[in-house]
């Protein structure tokens, strides 16, 4: 069997995880000529032709069917490079003739046109060896202590982070020049981009993908994206990309009924389509679709050096009754609503990724109680290594939107998350989904007056940064933008001209840096040994206190009050002396709010906690300590 026969065999077996090197457009030099092979999978097609800039769109070039299972091929030799020439596949099926973009195209015109662009260049020179060595060293297990490293993600929609004065997009390279130094200054460890694969409709935010292998041309070509990622890496910042293997839109040039019949999508009406999104679900049980999707994930890891994929809408893949009414879905062989093919696909995906690149992140956006999302496959899990804690986010938003007089009835928002904190490897997300469609921006969720909103937001962020789990904040939240996120316009950077918003950004930067320097806040994120309640049930005071610990046993005390008035509490401490490490900005000098007394064999700290405030303390043995200057 030659290499091409093996590639097609494994593709149809669902185990070709480099399918993009076989299908789509690939080039090699033969006898001094550019030799371009075009291949596509279209088993229901009666005829496939190439229409392009090469011969003129009115002169189709025929493809030959080379496998019984529907792979078509043509080879074009040229004296000159055909890079960035446009093409489509013209398919004849069932008496209809229609044009499709190449599912494996690495570049595309996108939007309504969808013409694929030849892009076979591999000339980009990476300069991120130091970053990749660091990643390999930190994204590992250490004696059962997984991911013992700070992860603080800045979630970004590239098209609305910043725009030119005429509202045109920044390019990938321009974004790198602006965002890289900004995130480095702010103390973020990672940036996460909403989907960057080619999509037709801006209003989908990138979640309705047509060109899965083609970075969107809105911001430049694939090498421009590589440049941006390279710049982040050179500055010690990881890059995560949202990835959408659940569904695709019904745009004519995309995967929708690619060869005249359902091909990439489920054939049965009970699984085929999402009512809410108006999209088609991938047939995750079909071997060729598995090759397509797993290869796509590996493509971005290998060819773009990304550090993680946040897998969108996992729940929609896992449940047969997702977005369906009774009678509209068919149970599995065991009579339940679980999509067994989807579970098998996700396990295959994660096993493949981690077997080749064990030091990347596979993050599930999964909103149900499915269980074992981040457990290894050999333990019956799905094999992700992180999951968004959407339950925490929804409960906490409801809590901060409540009048402080009635928060005592919702106190479980503060203490219940620790009941399940170690069932999965969680990220605590303040995400794009929660600052649109009338849900209010994060600062505007805070109850009360203008002044109170800022104070509560500072304490809310302090809670997120000190609870177990990795961290994520959506762009614009760091300076308290009041307007909801608007994908069609830039963030309101002019808000930084106002002192309170500028101070909020400075506070977030200071909090981020403190987090990075404090291993107690991230070393044991996924182990109960890293957390200890001191006061969990102070619902009448809207207050909690706890210790965070690192693997060496060093600990800090965190006190958080969401009360509208000052609160007094007595806190048992290990040693006589306390040092203030960090506070939410309205606490004051330690000597004014804390007195320590002995009670039997232990010490008690009597503390006045100001309204809407939080502080982090360190228990110290020595007596001659200085209180840190207020943050």
pLDDT at residue 239, as a whole number: 98
Each domain of the chain, given as residue ranges in start order, spans 3-117, 529-620
Are 373 and 387 in contact, with CB atoms under 8 Å apart? yes
DSSP reduced 3-state for 151? coil
pLDDT at residue 115, as a whole number: 96
* pLDDT per position as a tens digit, 384-396: 999 999 999 999 9
pLDDT at residue 631, as a whole number: 35
Lowest average pLDDT, out of 199-213, 362-376, 613-627, goes to 613-627
Instruction: Tell me how many degrees the CA angle 279-281-286 measures, rounded to the nearest 5.
Output: 150
- The mean pLDDT of 35-40, rounded to a whole number, is 98
Among 39, 63, 24, CA closest to 214: 24
pLDDT-derived band at 142, boundaries 50, 70, 90: low
Are 184 and 146 in contact, with CB atoms under 8 Å apart? no
pLDDT at residue 623, as a whole number: 56
- The mean pLDDT of 434-456, rounded to a whole number, is 96
- The mean pLDDT of 462-467, rounded to a whole number, is 98
pLDDT at residue 589, as a whole number: 86
Average pLDDT, the chain: 95
Catalytic residue annotation: 312, 365
Residues 6 or more apart from 21 whose CB is under 8 A from it? 7
Residue located via tokens 């694969």: 197
Number of H helices, E strands in the chain: 15, 32
What percent of the chain shows pLDDT beyond 90? 91
CA dist., res. 43 & res. 493, Å (int): 51
Residues 6 or more apart from 31 whose CB is under 8 A from it? none
DSSP reduced 3-state for 232? helix
pLDDT at residue 629, as a whole number: 37
Does the structure show a pLDDT above 90 at 411? yes
Tokens of 425: 């490897």
CA dist., res. 545 & res. 151, Å (int): 23
pLDDT-derived band at 5, boundaries 50, 70, 90: confident
pLDDT at residue 237, as a whole number: 98
Are 287 and 14 in contact, with CB atoms under 8 Å apart? yes
CA dist., res. 354 & res. 482, Å (int): 40
Give this prediction's pTM: 0.95
* pLDDT per position as a tens digit, 46-73: 999 999 999 989 999 999 999 999 999 9
For domain 529-620, which CATH number applies: 2.60.40.1180, 3.40.50.720, 3.40.250.10, 3.40.50.300? 2.60.40.1180
Identical fold between 3-117 and 529-620: yes
Alpha-helix residue ranges (DSSP H) falling in 282-385 = 287-304, 314-318, 340-356
Return the CATH superfamily for domain 3-117: Immunoglobulins (2.60.40.10)
* pLDDT per position as a tens digit, 266-319: 999 999 999 999 999 999 999 999 999 999 999 999 999 999 999 999 999 999
pLDDT-derived band at 628, boundaries 50, 70, 90: very low
């Amino acid at each position: 069997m030659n290499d091409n026969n093996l590639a097609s065999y494994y593709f149809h077996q669902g185990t070709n995880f480099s399918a993009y090197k076989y299908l789509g457009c690939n080039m090699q030099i033969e006898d001094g000529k550019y030799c371009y092979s075009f291949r596509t999978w279209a088993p229901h097609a009666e005829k496939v032709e190439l229409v392009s800039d090469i011969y003129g769109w009115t002169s189709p070039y025929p493809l030959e069917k080379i496998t019984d299972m529907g792979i078509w091929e043509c080879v074009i030799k040229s004296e000159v490079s055909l890079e960035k020439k446009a093409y489509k596949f013209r398919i004849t099926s069932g008496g209809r003739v229609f044009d499709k973009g190449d599912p494996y195209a690495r570049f595309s015109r996108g939007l309504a046109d969808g013409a694929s662009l030849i892009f076979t260049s591999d000339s980009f020179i990476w300069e991120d060896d130091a970053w990749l060595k660091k990643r390999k060293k930190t994204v590992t297990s250490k004696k059962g202590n997984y991911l013992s490293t700070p992860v603080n993600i800045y979630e970004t929609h590239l098209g609305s982070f910043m725009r030119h004065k005429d509202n045109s997009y920044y390019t990938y390279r321009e974004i790198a020049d602006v965002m890289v130094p900004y995130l480095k200054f702010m103390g973020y460890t990672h940036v996460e981009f909403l989907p960057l694969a080619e999509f037709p409709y801006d209003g989908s935010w990138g979640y309705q993908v047509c060109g899965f292998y083609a970075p969107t041309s809105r911001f430049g070509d694939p090498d421009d994206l590589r440049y941006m990622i390279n710049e982040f890496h050179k500055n010690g910042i990881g890059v995560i990309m949202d990835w959408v293997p659940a569904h695709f839109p019904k745009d004519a040039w995309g995967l929708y009924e690619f060869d005249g019949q359902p091909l990439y999508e489920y054939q049965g009406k009970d699984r085929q389509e999402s009512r809410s999104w108006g999209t088609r679900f991938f047939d995750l049980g079909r071997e060729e679709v598995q090759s397509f999707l797993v290869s796509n994930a590996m493509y971005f890891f290998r060819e773009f050096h990304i550090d993680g994929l946040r897998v969108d809408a996992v729940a929609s893949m896992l449940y047969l009754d997702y977005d369906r009414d009774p009678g509209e879905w068919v149970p599995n062989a065991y009579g339940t609503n679980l999509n067994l093919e989807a579970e098998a696909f996700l396990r295959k995906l994660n096993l493949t990724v981690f077997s080749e690149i064990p030091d990347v992140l596979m993050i599930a956006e999964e909103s149900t109680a499915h269980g074992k999302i981040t457990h290894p496959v050999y333990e019956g899990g799905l094999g992700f290594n992180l999951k968004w804690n959407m339950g925490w986010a929804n409960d906490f938003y409801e809590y901060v939107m409540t009048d402080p007089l009635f928060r005592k009835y919702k106190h479980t928002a503060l203490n219940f998350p620790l009941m399940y904190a170690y069932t999965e490897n969680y990220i605590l997300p303040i995400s794009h989904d929660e600052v649109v469609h009338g849900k209010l921006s994060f600062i505007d969720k805070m109850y009360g007056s203008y002044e109170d909103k800022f104070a509560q937001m500072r304490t809310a962020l302090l809670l997120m940064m000190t609870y177990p789990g990795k961290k994520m904040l959506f762009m614009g939240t760091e300076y308290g933008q009041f307007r909801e996120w608007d994908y069609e316009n830039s963030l309101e950077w002019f808000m930084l001209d106002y002192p309170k918003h500028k101070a909020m950004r400075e506070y977030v930067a200071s909090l981020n840096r403190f987090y990075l320097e404090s291993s107690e806040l991230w070393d044991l994120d996924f182990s109960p040994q890293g957390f200890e309640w001191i006061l969990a049930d102070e619902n009448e005071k809207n207050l909690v206190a706890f210790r965070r610990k690192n693997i060496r046993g060093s600990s800090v005390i965190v006190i958080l009050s969401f009360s509208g008035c000052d609160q007094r509490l007595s806190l048992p401490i290990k040693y006589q002396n306390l040092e203030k490490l960090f506070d939410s900005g309205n606490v004051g000098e330690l000597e004014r709010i804390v007195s320590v007394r002995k009670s039997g064999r232990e010490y008690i700290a009597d503390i006045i906690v100001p309204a809407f405030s939080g502080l982090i303390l360190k228990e110290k043995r020595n007596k001659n300590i200085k209180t840190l200057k207020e943050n």
